Amino acid sequence: MGNEENKVFLKLKGIKKSFGGVHALRGVDLEIREGEIHCLAGENGCGKSTLIKAISGVHEPDEGEIWINGEKVEHMKPIDAINRGIQVIYQDFAVFPNLTVAENIALNGEVKDRKKFVNWKEIHQIAERGMAQVGAELDPDMPLEQLPVAGKQMVAICRAIVNDAKLLILDEPTTALTEKEVGKLWEVLRGLKKKGIAIMIVNHKLDEIYQIADSLTILRNGKYISSGKISEYNDARFMKDMTGRDLVETKYDPELSDEEVFRVDHLTLKGRFEDVSFSMNKGDILGLTGLLGSGRGEIGEALFGITPPESGDIYMNGKKIEIHSVADAIKNKIGYVPEDRLTQGLFMERSIEDNTIASSIRDYFHGMSLNEKEMREASERWLKDLSIAAPSIDPPVRTLSGGNAQKVVIAKWLNTHPRLFILNGPTVGVDVGAKAEIHEILRGLAKQGIGIIIISDDLPELLQNCNKIVIMNKGKVRLVTDNKIDKLSL
């Protein structure tokens, strides 16, 4: 049966929602059919999360209609949505780490049915039935905290299924998954689709959307922009609808220079990587890639002094430097954006200004006092130069979208005037518009003579933005390419 013949499970008409004068949703239409995988896409801040909460009864729309299974629903509460088969799996999965796999899968239903006593045999039976439906091979007695991210997500899906999910909504489900785990997730979702379950995935990763979605709806600034079968979209239309502008993908091709800015010779850290050598000239953007465990991330941490190399030589602008600590790296004008910016790169509760000057605070001391005027001027300059979408430098970083938070990390290190800038996964979790802006920033820095190293397993990103690529395999350099080829294989 084709998707167009399937019954409509959810229909939204003209959904509007405001918070204190801020229009989060400005008239959104959406239609999801049984046995369909529907992607909801849009840049951060476009209203996706608010729409999910409207569908699941957390927020009541100010205007518009919600139809479920052909019935108009008004004043819906979360329990009403659950009773109608709507299950949402958020990025934190809302699981209990101290409970077992079986308890996490089955106890919600027990509470919902208001059972006074727990039948542990029944708990195991329910859990095993849920795991069998999705093909999950998990130990039902294992505490959830011992599972990897993908395992916790699978438990959340099993819990939704045993609670009779008719519409399964997954919010950014692949953010913390490996490529193999993403493939397993797609396999599970396709199996649920065949059983007639409607699935909505919130995602902005173009390649993933093409892999899994039957249809697509795009929001921008709280407005409905377009909807249709995935076959009706190409990269150009997707990017135009997402951002409101044409994004032209160009390959980075710098002017050739003989001026060396950075070099490592025979860099080694036993158990992590060995005998790594590469060099960068002015204008180069070097990509460092490989599978998980290849040593790619460890090289970045070594160059920033987090886990210093045991042997080998490092040269900055032809001069040998020593890096035994993070302080040494900063002293030698090396900046580093970590893979986990939320816990390692930013102080989420502090202001944009505090984060921007965090690594360069010493520059603003005059005697025993700080020059607050200079600090604000520097922060405001980066806010403008990096197009950080914020009303001022005063709001806490936690209020920013992923892309704008990443720009604040970049601003923090640019304010130290680095000569080498290392970025581990610089665009993970940011939308397509912010991704293009970050790429443009890095290209501009490279043209100014700053050495840029991008550590990533996103091969399209590397091919588009790096003119040199180092491929790592089991701690050793497998290949150094000048990126004159169209495809790479890890």
Q: Is 70 exceeded by the pLDDT of residue 461?
A: yes
- Mind listing the pLDDT tens digit for each residue in 221-239? 899 999 999 999 988 898 8
Which residues have CB under 8 Å from 416's CB, separation 6+?
Answer: 330, 333, 335, 359, 360
Dihedral Cα 447, 449, 455, 460, nearest 10 deg:
20
Query: Cβ distance 199 to 170 under 8 Å?
Result: yes
Among 115-119, 324-328, 473-477, top mean pLDDT goes to 324-328
CA distance 381 to 388: 10
DSSP code of 129? Answer: H
- Residue 167's identity, in one-letter code, is L
CA distance 381 to 403: 18
CA dist list (Å): 364 to 244, 411, 416, 440: 40, 16, 11, 29
Q: Is 80 exceeded by the pLDDT of residue 487?
A: no
Query: Cβ distance 226 to 236 under 8 Å?
Result: no
- Mind listing the pLDDT tens digit for each residue in 17-47? 998 878 899 999 999 999 999 999 987 678 8
Q: Is 70 exceeded by the pLDDT of residue 57?
A: yes
H or E element in which residue 468 lies: strand 468-473
Which residues have CB under 8 Å from 132's CB, separation 6+?
Answer: none
More confident residue, 487 or 211: 211
For tokens 């965090």, name the residue.
358
CATH 3.40.50.300 is right for the domain spanning 3-243 = yes
Provide the pairing of β-strand 365-366 with 369-370. antiparallel
User: What is the model's pLDDT at position 404?
Assistant: 84
The domain locations on the chain are 3-243, 260-481
Q: Is 90 exceeded by the pLDDT of residue 405?
A: no
Question: If pLDDT is split at 50, 70 and 90, which confidence band does 412 have?
Answer: very high
Within 10 angstroms of residue 220's Cβ, the number of other Cβ atoms is 20
Which residues have CB under 8 Å from 256's CB, separation 6+?
Answer: 281, 283
User: What is the model's pLDDT at position 341?
Assistant: 63
Class of residue 472 by CB neighbours under 10 A (exposed 0-12, middle 13-18, buried 19+) = buried
Q: Percentage helix, strand, coil, to 5, in the chain?
A: 35, 25, 35
- Locate the DSSP E strands across 230-310: 260-269, 273-281, 285-289
Question: If pLDDT is split at 50, 70 and 90, which confidence band does 1 have?
Answer: very low
Which region among 146-155, 339-348, 455-464 has the lowest average model confidence (pLDDT)?
A: 339-348
Mean pLDDT rounded to a whole number for the chain: 88
For tokens 């294992």, name the residue.
142
CA distance 143 to 98: 6
Question: If pLDDT is split at 50, 70 and 90, which confidence band does 6 have?
Answer: confident
Which residues have CB under 8 Å from 240's CB, separation 6+?
Answer: 246, 247
Which alpha helices (DSSP H) does 135-234 contain, by range?
149-162, 179-194, 206-212
The three-point CA angle 307-310-311 to 5° equals 135
Percent of the chain at pLDDT exceeding 70: 93
Query: Cβ distance 400 to 408 under 8 Å?
Result: yes
- Domain 3-243 identical in fold to domain 260-481: yes
Which residues have CB under 8 Å from 26's CB, separation 6+?
Answer: 16, 47, 221, 222, 223
> Which strand ranges, in their side-by-side order, compose the sheet holding 420-424?
334-337, 420-424, 451-455, 285-289, 468-473, 476-481
Give exposure, 449-471, as e/b (b: 16+ Cβ within 10 Å): ebbbbbbbbbbebbbbbbbbbbb
What are residue 429's phi and psi, to 5 degrees? 80, 10
CA distance 264 to 481: 16
N- to C-terminal Cα separation, the chain? 38
User: What is the model's pLDDT at position 217?
Assistant: 96
Q: In Å, how far from its chain's centre is CA 476?
A: 28
- Locate the DSSP E strands across 270-325: 273-281, 285-289, 311-316, 319-321
Name which CATH class applies to 260-481: alpha beta
- Mind listing the pLDDT tens digit for each residue in 68-101? 999 999 999 999 999 999 999 987 778 888 999 9
Question: If pLDDT is split at 50, 70 and 90, which confidence band does 2 have?
Answer: very low
Q: Kindly report the pTM of this predicted structure.
A: 0.65
For tokens 């709280």, name the residue.
222
Dihedral Cα 24, 26, 29, 32, nearest 10 deg:
0
- For the residues 426-442, what does the mean pLDDT come to? 82
